[in-house]
Amino acid sequence: MQSSPAVIGVDSSTQSTKAVLVDAASGKVLATGRAAHTVSGEAGARESDPEAWWRALTGAVAEALAGFDARAVTGIAVAGQQHGLVVLDSAGRALRPALLWNDTRSAPQAAALTDRLGARDWLARTGSVPVASMTATKWQWLRENEPRTAGAAAGVRLPHDFLTERLAGTAATDPGDASGTCWYGTATRAYDPELLDLLGLDRGLLPVVAPAGATRVGSLTAPAARELGLPRGIAVAAGTGDNMAAAVGLGLGGRGLLDHPVVSLGTSGTVFAATRARPVTAALAGFAATDGTYLPLGCTLNCTLAVDKVAGLLGLDREDAVPGGEAVLLPYLDGERTPDLPGASGLLTGLRHATSRQQILGAAYEGAVFSVLRVLDELPHPDGDVPLRLIGGGARGRAWVETVRRLSGRPVVLPRTAELVALGAAALAAGAATGEDPVAVATGWGGGAGVTLPAVARDRAAWDRIAAVLPAFGSLGTG
């Protein structure tokens, strides 16, 4: 039984929901609950029913609470997959399945929106250039392809906004997740009225953006409390996007570490760092963080799922990989985001009679890791000796870790906490309940601490071999 104060952090990701019950004083994870999501679609489409997210949240929270006294819980927060488009009717129900971040059907709309203003203007306003992942492009796709649905929308939300509203009854978001829409200005820290006009999007359809650091947006409603088995009226935080929550969990931000690069290996692969300076470069998405700093980020669509697909096709376990030798495999199975190649498909080259299945699988790892690591030089960090913090599901796989070490030539820190997104959400919940700074809370919990693996000699031959397949990468491809 739990008697001291506890908080709940929820990670609502592309494939599943994880909920962690955390001791608010020590940061100890007391219990974890999980529930799967269903993703549907083909030929670039990726959609999910938002109601399934809510059912998964309630199931995961119930599992985490089993055997514990729910009366000890003082706050809850949701971190969610970024960029997804949820359109609601006046009763708060979804008008259609949500368009997910990895739905690439809006690539033509992304190109058209970029042309309308020019990449430089988009960067100046939002910190990012529209690509198919961004919410604005999905809204534009909906307007063009399903105008009746767009016209009937009484609310437009991001995935974590949708869940937070179910908890608190308040339509609210945070600067971090809002900065991934391409209609929020990271320079002005507000919705950009000219961009909303360009998109034909009524400001009244959007949630209020909570100020940076002001994490409490309401209290748990009676209906939500009944469904979750939690006390009515506990603090509900604004929450944030999954990458921003991972940064909080690691203690990155104004009251923690700055300019320390993180590599996240999950459904997508991302590289990011918390910075004080607002990034303006087309090579990165210039996101905001939750605490008033910034979170420049590079993202690839194809990471762990793509490599697992290759392993399945080869009839191998994911840990059967060996270095790829002469083989190069770019696992762009769902198009790609960084680089912006939404129509790309997988590419395998360099095969010889002596090439083994294990080498082909190793080449898939190398191609995925190359795509993630190649944006590192765009991040502000002191020098190449700064350790990489490696997180996500891939951080628990030997082949992933060793491939990152070999292609980066850097020391690697493996944080001891596996569910850093959910832990970051728990820190946001603790901040909402107590008024403390969530980054400072997470730093005190020590979520970013872990095992440091020393640098190994960089496999420059493998890096150059992959880079040569895509010469259009230019300076980024040369590492």
SS3 162: helix
DSSP character at residue 477: G
pLDDT of amino acid 278: 85
The predicted model gives 260-277 an average pLDDT of: 89
Kindly give, in sequence order, each residue whose CB lies less than 8 Å from that of residue 188, ignoring residues fewer than 6 positions away.
none
Q: Where are the alpha helices (DSSP H) in 221-377?
A: 222-228, 242-249, 304-314, 357-373
- Predicted local confidence at residue 386, as pLDDT: 80
Q: What is the mean pLDDT of residues 368-388?
A: 80
CB–CB of 291/438 below 8 Å? yes
- Give the C-alpha separation, 316 to 333, whole Å: 18
Cβ–Cβ under 8 Å, residues 112 and 131: no
pLDDT above 70 for 8:
yes
Q: What is the mean pLDDT of residues 12-31?
A: 96
Q: Which of 174, 242, 340, 459 is an active site residue?
A: 242
Listed in order, the ranges of the chain carrying CATH 3.30.420.40 are: 6-247, 256-418+449-478
**CATH class of residue range 256-418+449-478:** alpha beta
Known active-site residue 437: no
Q: What pLDDT is recorded for position 474?
A: 39
Which of the two residues, 67 and 205, has the higher pLDDT score?
Answer: 205
Question: In this predicted structure, what is the pLDDT of residue 10?
Answer: 98
Predicted pLDDT of residue 473: 38
- Given a cut of 60, whether residue 424 has pLDDT beyond it is yes
- pLDDT band per the 50, 70, 90 thresholds, residue 476: very low
Classified by CATH at the fold level, domain 6-247 comes out as: Nucleotidyltransferase; domain 5 (3.30.420)
Rounded Cα gap, residues 359 and 172, in angstroms: 48
Tokens encoding 362: 């190793």
In the chain, the percentage of residues whose pLDDT exceeds 90 is 78
How far apart CA 152 and CA 154 sit, in angstroms, is 6
Cβ atoms < 10 Å from Cβ of 309? 16
Q: How far apart are CA 363 and CA 333, in angstroms?
A: 14
Task: Report residue 475's pLDDT band, with 50, 70 and 90 as the boundaries.
Answer: very low
In 10 A of CB 104, how many CB atoms? Answer: 24
Pairing of strands 235-237, 73-80: parallel
pTM, entire model: 0.89
- Residue 84 clears pLDDT 80, i.e. is over it: yes
Q: What are phi and psi of 415, to 5 degrees?
A: -55, 145
